[in-house]
Amino acid sequence: MQDNFDIDIFVREEIKGLVPYNPESRPEMIKMDANENPFLFPGDIQKKIYELIDSRAFTRYPDALAGALVREISGCYGIAPDQVMVGNGSDELILNLMLAFGAGNRVVIAVPTFSMYAIHARIAGGVITEVPRDQNFDLAVEALAREGAGAGLLVICSPNNPSGNSATTEQMVAILEACRCPVVVDQAYLEFGGVDFLPLLAKHNNLVILRTFSKAFGLAGLRVGYLFAHPGILHYLCKVKQPFNLNNFSQTAALVVLRNRGVFTRQVAQIGAEKDKLYKALREMPGVRVYPSDANYLLFAVEAPANRVFEGLLAEKILVRNFSDPLLSEYLRVSVGTPAENEIFLRGLRKVIDTLGEKK
Ligand SMILES: Cc1ncc(COP(=O)(O)O)c(C=O)c1O
């Protein structure tokens, strides 16, 4: 055995400090932690996808630029194909944005928010500036405009994960006009509510809109994200992307899903109705403070320590999201489930809060 092996000396400090993103797979749990579409994937659409997959889909590399899917997205949203790019989940597109524009630059992030922006900024060698949202999680527009003015990339999530609130058009325009760098607005949950910033794209060359098939469209397992941006931005993103980033099966599945999107629009309406019920029930629950949400999840604060509520729910076989972020230490986030799952969650949460109350 070689005894001068010291792998640490080759690794940047930012990489050493990262905690691997290893969400546990817990199939025995009611899964309300990752904001996926809770319904079964429609069988008839699944069949249509399989019908389009032939032997070449296995043996040959996929279309590197996913032309057919890009054209479908382009037609569906009325944006030119040279302003559309797809990725292996929007996670991959976030990394590509960081590699192209964040590396060696300042990356401004409105926090608290989705953790992958900071993780990918660090991996890419960007220097992060966090701009805190206010106590209602609203954007600090002036601070973002000030910090964004000298940055390489600025990232906003709307509706924001995990708080569920959306930015307004006025806020986005103010930030876009103050920044020369690309301004990314992650609209992963747009289908559920909030302001659509697509109309701003024609006028603001620095706007990047991120979207995904993982949430409303039920394809989290197949990893398909996409973005809209000026061709000048895509020019650089294409240089840093993996050559065959989106596999044949996923390209076909996303295409079929878009052609059958009415089914998912109906599911989104159902999820919205369930969210309203869940919100009302949480608002009436003692010891719980819930925030309104434009997305398919609800953020709530608990009087009892959030970790203990989380553990109590786990014992009831219910998995919600708790956070390591100190800005979110008193909060939990629950994804809207099926009607049956939501009932079980509410019953479980009541029981856990009552039990913790008795132990006080
Ligand atoms: C705000 C936000 N953006 C992006 C993603 C990642 O989506 P994808 O599955 O497309 O990588 C998530 C997933 O939870 C998210 O919450």
Ligand 1 touching residue 188 (CB < 6 A): yes
Phi, psi of 335 (to 5 degrees): -80, 145
Would you say residue 132 lies in a domain? yes
Find the 188 Cα to ligand 1 centroid distance in Å: 6
Residue 3 pLDDT grade (very low, low, confident, very high; cuts 50, 70, 90): confident
Would you say residue 353 lies in a domain? yes
> Are 288 and 249 contained in the same domain?
no
Ligand 1 touching residue 158 (CB < 6 A): no
> Are 137 and 254 contained in the same domain?
yes
Find the 360 Cα to ligand 1 centroid distance in Å: 38
Closest Cα to residue 295, out of 168, 158, 186?
Answer: 158
> Are 166 and 235 contained in the same domain?
yes
Would you say residue 2 lies in a domain? no
Q: What CATH number did the domain enclosing 156 receive?
A: 3.40.640.10
Would you say residue 107 lies in a domain? yes
> How many independent structural domains does the chain possess?
2
Q: Average pLDDT of the chain?
A: 96
Would you say residue 347 lies in a domain? yes
> Are 181 and 217 contained in the same domain?
yes
Closest protein CA for atom 14 of ligand 1 = 34
Closest atom, ligand 1, to C-alpha of 213: 10
Of 91, 117, 156, 209, the one to substitute when testing ligand 1's pocket (max ligand atoms within 8 A of C-beta) is: 91
Half-sphere exposure of 98 (CA within 13 A, CB side): 23
What pLDDT digit, counting tens, does each position of 277-315 carry?
A: 999 999 999 999 999 999 999 999 999 999 999 999 999
> Are 301 and 247 contained in the same domain?
no
Separation CA 175–CA 162 (nearest Å): 21
Find the 16 Cα to ligand 1 centroid distance in Å: 24
User: Quick one: tokens of 151?
Assistant: 């940055």
> Are 279 and 239 contained in the same domain?
no
pTM for the structure as a whole: 0.97
Residue 26 pLDDT grade (very low, low, confident, very high; cuts 50, 70, 90): confident
Phi, psi of 94 (to 5 degrees): -60, -45
Find the 6 Cα to ligand 1 centroid distance in Å: 35
> Are 95 and 205 contained in the same domain?
yes
Separation CA 33–CA 320 (nearest Å): 4
> Are 267 and 342 contained in the same domain?
yes
DSSP letter (8 states) at residue 108 = E
Tell me the residue range of the domain where 237 lies.
Answer: 54-260
> Are 146 and 66 contained in the same domain?
yes
User: Quick one: tokens of 148?
Assistant: 């964004």
What pLDDT digit, counting tens, does each position of 116-171 carry?
A: 999 999 999 999 999 999 999 999 999 999 999 999 999 999 999 999 999 999 99
Ligand 1 touching residue 91 (CB < 6 A): yes
DSSP letter (8 states) at residue 160 = P
Looking at 201, 232, 260, the residue that finishes a domain is: 260
Ligand 1 touching residue 214 (CB < 6 A): yes
pLDDT score at 20: 83
Looking at 260, 295, 311, the residue that finishes a domain is: 260
Q: What angle do CA 314, 317, 323 make, to 5 degrees?
A: 35
> Are 181 and 251 contained in the same domain?
yes
Ligand 1 touching residue 156 (CB < 6 A): no
- Whether residue 360 has pLDDT greater than 70: no
User: Quick one: tokens of 70?
Assistant: 């890009």
